[in-house]
Amino acid sequence: MNILAIGAHADDIEAKCGGTLLKYKAMGHKIFMVLSTTGNIGSNSAASRSEIEATRKKEQLAAARLFDAEVLFLPFDDQLLEDNPTTRKAMLDAIRWADPDIIFTHDPSDPSPDHWMTSRIVTAVVLCAGSRLTPSERPPIDKSPSVFFWDNGAGVNFLPEVYVDISEHIDLKKEAISQHESQLEWMSTFKENDLFETFEVISRFRGIQAGVQYAECYRAFRLRGRMPDFKLLP
């Protein structure tokens, strides 16, 4: 299968569904990653927006290597993502590029603006994946991908429907997060000084709920004519 993860910022994907993607990879599936913004405000020490954008691209590509993943970067500014014809077309192009069987992305209830906006755009355009007349640089695809929303930051206001046991992949998940070196400093701006502790605790917390050591959790996108296939989860 083709597995597509769509995050707003470099590091969102590894932090929220990294263990699940590593599990898919171990099963022989192909991983694709799309970033909906450039992450170009994510530093107080970089000299410019273009400098931190370049740094984060490099970090994302280093992380993606651990998943043997292909990465597509969309050109939209950090914290300014909008739902408009340009962003919808770019997202539809990205989905068609990956030709996915399953898509993971942010939850619509995530309070971070780029996060819920990414979720909104993904769920708006996924319906058009097979539509010939919707503007796109790429031809329609035959698949109807199932869409799953990943956990909110620190699990706030997120009621999981399904869990994936990532116990065997927690160390590599932490290694993937550690590739985003610039964000370790940026997160300290928000008084969050140990990203590894944060993601270890959250994965363990979700693991306790699921009766395993470490887990990631999801909710499904539902729409008449496009129901999720939970059997696709690893």
List residues binding Zn ion (CB under 5 A).
8-9, 12
CB of 186 to Zn ion, least distance (A): 11
CB of 8 to Zn ion, least distance (A): 5
CB of 219 to Zn ion, least distance (A): 18
Residue closer to Zn ion (CB basis): 112 or 213: 112
Taking the complex as a whole, the smallest distance from the CB of residue 206 to Zn ion amounts, in Å, to: 18
DSSP code per residue over 63-101: HHHTTT-EEEEEEEPTT----SHHHHHHHHHHHHHH--S
Q: Looking at beta carbons only, is 190 or 225 nearer to Zn ion? A: 190
Residue with the closest Cβ to Zn ion? 9
Which residue is listed with tokens 């370790």?
184
Q: Tokens at residue 130, please?
A: 């097979």
Longest dimension (CA), the chain: 49
Nearer to Zn ion, 83 or 101 (CB): 83
Identify which of residues 165 and 216 has a Cβ nearer to Zn ion in the complex.
216
Nearer to Zn ion, 129 or 217 (CB): 217
Residue 227's alpha-carbon distances to 119, 134, 206, 224, in angstroms, are: 17, 22, 25, 7
Cα angle, residue 19 at apex, residues 13 and 20 outer, rounded to 5°: 85
H or E stretch at 202? helix 195-210
AA letter at 201? V
Mention every residue, 6+ apart, whose C-beta is less than 8 A from residue 103.
4, 5, 6, 95, 122, 126, 145, 146, 147, 148
Half-sphere exposure of 54 (CA within 13 A, CB side): 6
State the minimum distance, in angstroms, from the CB of residue 78 to Zn ion: 9
**18 versus 228: smaller Cβ distance to Zn ion:** 18
Amino acid at 200: E
Min separation Cβ 182 and Zn ion, Å: 13
